[in-house]
Structure 1
Amino acid sequence: MPLSAQPPGSAEPYLLTASLDNARHLSSLLRAVHFQDHATCFATVNGLRVTVEDAKCVQANAFIQAEIFQEFAVQEQTVTFRINLSVLLDCLTIFGTSSLPGTSTALRMCYRGYGYPLMLFLEEGGVVTVCKINTQEPEDLLDFDFCSTKVVNKIILQSEGLRKAFAELDMTSEVMQITMSPDKPYFRLSTFGNAGSAHLDYSKDSDLIEAFHCNQTQTNRYKISLLKPSTKALALSCKVSIRTDAQGFLSLQYMIRNEDGQICFVEYYCCPDENITEEMLRSSCVSLVFTCRDPTTAIWICEDG
């Protein structure tokens, strides 16, 4: 294959070289974190991490392990650069977003170092396209410091359960409230929209929950506008790990299996919202159960007034 050869004009060593037989594996993961134009890329011997932030309130990370690539070589401990993610995605899909049966776009990616462009060599059907994307100096990113020792509550859920929540809860709400508790309601998602309050409960014994480790009751609210970008990763994933720390910071880690059965991860961090008052969320009157597809889950609607 043409891309297996060293790219032309490579007298100087590249700090990063990576090859994929199918560029779609990379582009689908990058689309899952594409809610801002620019991203910061970190390459180590373990693989590639692509980080996107918005307003210092939400951060998304796509992790592509070195084993996913047919070739992955890094000449320094960490190679870091900032890039226009929209342009990168356009280049990765230059032959189209879907390929004919039995065909795929091969990719070789090279980066020489600070001040140099990221070079992409893409080949499909014997046609090779070379793209050079200007890189920028990386900016400082938030460190959510979400180590396991600081996690207060953790639930591993089949993604089907969270997709159901986003589909059935009222997305006209400004916030989503998440309750995690060792006691009832165990795991509750709530919204406060134009029609009233909606609550979706999961029992810790639900078939959708694979692991339940809750040490204390926590109720935190998060802006839905910050959570919505994560639905791109949710749509691709098979499992999601939901974690909170003592300050209420939220981690959503999505396990994504590509077409070849390989596992990658996309993680979202989100700050809790402290500016929503109880009066804005309060609704009274009776709760009505309107659906219960799984006997271990239920939804209520509380009408205002």
Structure 2
Amino acid sequence: MADDRDHMMYIAKENAKEIHQVLKSMKFKEYCTFKACRDGIQFVVDDHNFQQANAYLKTEIFSELDVRVDEVRLRVPMNILAECFNVFSGASTALRLTYDGPGEPLVVSLEDEGIVFKCSIMCQNPQHHHKMYDFEWKNENVLAKVILKPNKAKEIVRDLDKTSPTVRITVTDGHISFLTDGELGKIKSMIPAHSDQVEHMEACRERVTFSYRYNLIHRMETAFLASSKISLRIDNRGVMSTQFLIPRTDSKNIFIEFFTIAEVEWDDG
């Protein structure tokens, strides 16, 4: 796409489909916060109560990234943004994002086989709305860490009992399990540490166990399905960090991370 680059922000990428997959995996609220700086871009979706999703796209995955201020930060309507990226379905779709400053729209331009689509999205200043929750994540407070290949985890999350209000997640050095208690009764799914689906599993206690609202786990289902590797960590407050590695054709990775607050700590067996 030929155009001048005299913008406050100019971002170009050869494969727009990758960003559409990211947006689709975290589309659970009406708005997202879009951030851009010289190091890359970030999308943040926050329900201001129990969960926050972050996607990090580093400079190296873009063909061009020019941000002429310290940071561009916008509150963008999520559905409109995701639909823009979905206009063309091919992997050859070229993307350009431009922004010229306060009061100006975020302009999404896509080109596929000579056909150009352009969408101007009016955005809001995120400072005029709720501040994003700071989860104050500290690695030294992590009680459990599991790194999984996605196949078995995808099946478990997809088949969770939808009538269960919560999902109890338990990690020991020997297994990770998911327990629901709904209309079908108590159902436990387990992945043992010796499974070929497990790359790493450790617990700083004999058993680390917390429960999370079913709907919060369900929000992550699309990310589970899209991922090639999953990292799950739980800290001493029960806050769960779930990182999803989104596969690309090269080695420059895209990560989506969900922070989820525990609903109830389970003390019984």
Could you tell me whether the CA contact under 8 Å between 1:173 and 1:192 is conserved in 2?
yes
The corresponding residue for 1:167 is 158
**TM-score (norm: length of structure 2):** 0.91
Aligned-pair Cα RMSD in Å: 2.2
In 2, the alpha carbon distance for the partners of 1:22 and 1:238 equals 18
Map Cα deviations across residues 127-152 of structure 1 (whole Å, 9 max, x no partner). 22322111101141011122322222
Give the counterpart letter for 1:165 in structure 2.
I
Could you tell me whether the CA contact under 8 Å between 1:63 and 1:265 is conserved in 2?
yes
The percent identity for this pair of structures is 28
The corresponding residue for 1:134 is 122
The corresponding residue for 2:140 is 149
Q: Runs of 5+ in structure 2 lacking a partner?
A: none
Higher RCO structure, 1 or 2 (CA under 8 Å, sep 6+): 2
Shift of 1:206: 1.7
Could you tell me whether the CA contact under 8 Å between 1:256 and 1:264 is conserved in 2?
yes
Select the residue among 194, 209, 213 that pairs with 1:205: 194
CA 1:180–1:104: 2 relative to 1, 3 Å: same
Map 1:30-179 → 2, pairs under 5 A = 30-94=23-87, 96=88, 98-99=89-90, 104-138=92-126, 139=129, 140-179=131-170
Give the counterpart letter for 1:35 in structure 2.
F
Shift of 1:55: 4.4
In 1, the alpha carbon distance for the partners of 2:159 and 2:13 equals 38
Higher mean C-alpha displacement, 217-226 vs 76-85: 76-85
The corresponding residue for 1:193 is 182
CA 1:199–1:61: 2 relative to 1, 3 Å: same
In 2, the alpha carbon distance for the partners of 1:274 and 1:166 equals 19
The corresponding residue for 1:220 is 210
In 2, the alpha carbon distance for the partners of 1:276 and 1:178 equals 9
Shift of 1:168: 3.8
**TM-score (norm: length of structure 1):** 0.81
CA 1:129–1:164: 2 relative to 1, 3 Å: closer
Map Cα deviations across residues 210-240 of structure 1 (whole Å, 9 max, x no partner). 0112111221000011111111111110110
Which protein has the larger Cα radius of gyration, Structure 1 or Structure 2? 1
Could you tell me whether the CA contact under 8 Å between 2:48 and 2:133 is conserved in 1?
no
Tell me the matched-pair count: 265
CA 1:205–1:173: 2 relative to 1, 3 Å: same
